[in-house]
């Protein structure tokens, strides 16, 4: 074990990261985790001696393309910390828009279901923000549900977790059906960065050639399961607006709104069954 000055380790590794196209902030976050100290401490205690080997081991994973969130085993979503590992998609900031829209539409005591819950980020956030809601979260992946269960325990939540292929494993009707389904067309998936394609679960990202395969099923299965006055809210992909409009119409839904994300991309579709 060899000890080096913290400020020298930071400067050297941050410079190295920059040259590899990695955000140098990652160095500080990993150091902060390893030393169990905040960033301000790292900056103020540059003369401290540390063993850089554990940092270098984590950095090698980062340089091999593993997302920082998996290495750190956590990410932030809607101002809460969620445990993540490679069994689930890393929650994305644009999905917070779906949560906002769901919170605005959920009636008091409403029954809500989240299809394809992954880490549980949508379902658990809805329930933590609105304790009156009765929230069920489903996923076809039992591995993903195990991660959602970790987050449920950590957030002291009461969301019901169920293994289900779309809605086949649950009964009843819902005031809100929400989902961030896999929607990346297969050809686009093949073009994604190594970070996403190699490390995140394929079944969370692409449903098949068109990208619309699971959305199509959700419209079909949700049609008889939306309670009177209720809605279906979906996150969708870049360039899918026209196809979604046609699909919704064909499946007996009207589009109430298409909400753009911060980049101006139509991202969340709010729809309700016709009459």
Question: Quick one: 31 or 231, whose CB is closer to ligand SAM?
Answer: 231
Question: Quick one: 116 or 230, whose CB is closer to ligand SAM?
Answer: 116
Which one of residues 80, 140, 154, 245 is an interface residue with ligand SAM (CB under 6 A)? 140
Please name the residue that has the structure tokens 């499946």: 251
Question: Quick one: 118 or 230, whose CB is closer to ligand SAM?
Answer: 118
Listed in sequence order, the residues at least 6 apart from 48 whose beta carbon sits closer than 8 Å to its beta carbon are: 5, 6
Angle between helices 241-250 and 213-222 (to 10 degrees): 30
Pick out residues in 29-68 that bind ligand SAM (CB under 6 A). Answer: none
Distance between CA atoms of 111 and 199, rounded to whole angstroms?
Answer: 34
CB of 111 to ligand SAM, least distance (A): 18
Within 10 angstroms of residue 275's Cβ, the number of other Cβ atoms is 5
Within 10 angstroms of residue 106's Cβ, the number of other Cβ atoms is 23
Beta strand 266-273 with 253-260 is antiparallel
115 binds ligand SAM per the rule CB under 6 A: yes
Which one of residues 67, 91, 185, 211 is an interface residue with ligand SAM (CB under 6 A)? 91
Listed in sequence order, the residues at least 6 apart from 66 whose beta carbon sits closer than 8 Å to its beta carbon are: 195, 199
Dihedral of alpha carbons 202, 204, 209, 211, sign? negative
96 binds ligand SAM per the rule CB under 6 A: no
Question: Quick one: 13 or 87, whose CB is closer to ligand SAM?
Answer: 87
Question: Quick one: 6 or 106, whose CB is closer to ligand SAM?
Answer: 106
Which one of residues 67, 181, 230, 237 is an interface residue with ligand SAM (CB under 6 A)? 181
Pick out residues in 208-237 that bind ligand SAM (CB under 6 A). Answer: 214
The count of C-alpha atoms lying within 13 angstroms of the C-alpha of 61, restricted to the half-sphere facing its C-beta, is 17
CB of 72 to ligand SAM, least distance (A): 17
Give the CA dihedral 193, 198, 204, 208, nearest 10 degrees.
80
Q: Per CB under 6 A, which region of 17-25, 32-40, 177-185, 261-269 contacts ligand SAM?
A: 177-185
Question: Quick one: 165 or 190, whose CB is closer to ligand SAM?
Answer: 165
97 binds ligand SAM per the rule CB under 6 A: no
Contacts to ligand SAM by CB under 6 A = 88-89, 91, 95, 115-119, 121-122, 138-141, 144, 165-166, 180-182, 203-204, 214
């Amino acid at each position: 074990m060899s000890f080096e000055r913290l400020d020298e380790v930071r400067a050297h590794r941050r410079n190295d990261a920059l040259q590899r196209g990695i955000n140098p902030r990652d160095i500080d976050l990993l150091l902060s985790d390893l030393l169990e100290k905040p960033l301000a401490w790292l900056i103020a205690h540059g003369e401290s001696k540390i063993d850089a080997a554990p940092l270098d081991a984590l950095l090698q994973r980062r340089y091999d393309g593993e997302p920082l969130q998996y290495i750190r085993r956590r990410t932030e979503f809607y101002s809460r910390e969620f445990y993540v590992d490679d069994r689930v998609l890393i929650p994305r900031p644009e999905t917070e828009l779906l949560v906002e829209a769901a919170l605005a539409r959920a009636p008091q005591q409403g029954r809500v279901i989240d299809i394809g819950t992954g880490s549980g980020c949508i379902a658990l956030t809805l329930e933590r923000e609105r304790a009156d809601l009765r929230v069920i979260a489903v996923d076809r992946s039992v591995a993903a549900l195990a991660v959602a269960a970790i987050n449920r325990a950590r957030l002291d939540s009461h969301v019901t977790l169920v293994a289900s292929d779309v809605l086949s494993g649950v009964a009843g009707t819902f005031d809100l059906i929400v989902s961030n389904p896999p929607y990346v067309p297969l050809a686009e998936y093949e073009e994604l960065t190594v970070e996403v394609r190699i490390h995140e679960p394929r079944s969370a990202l692409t449903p098949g050639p068109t990208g619309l395969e699971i959305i199509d099923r959700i419209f079909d299965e949700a049609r008889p399961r939306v309670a009177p006055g209720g809605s279906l809210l979906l996150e969708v992909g870049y360039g899918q607006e026209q196809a979604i409009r046609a699909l919704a119409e064909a499946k007996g839904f009207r589009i109430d709104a298409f909400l753009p994300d911060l980049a101006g991309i139509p991202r969340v579709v709010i729809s309700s069954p016709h009459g």
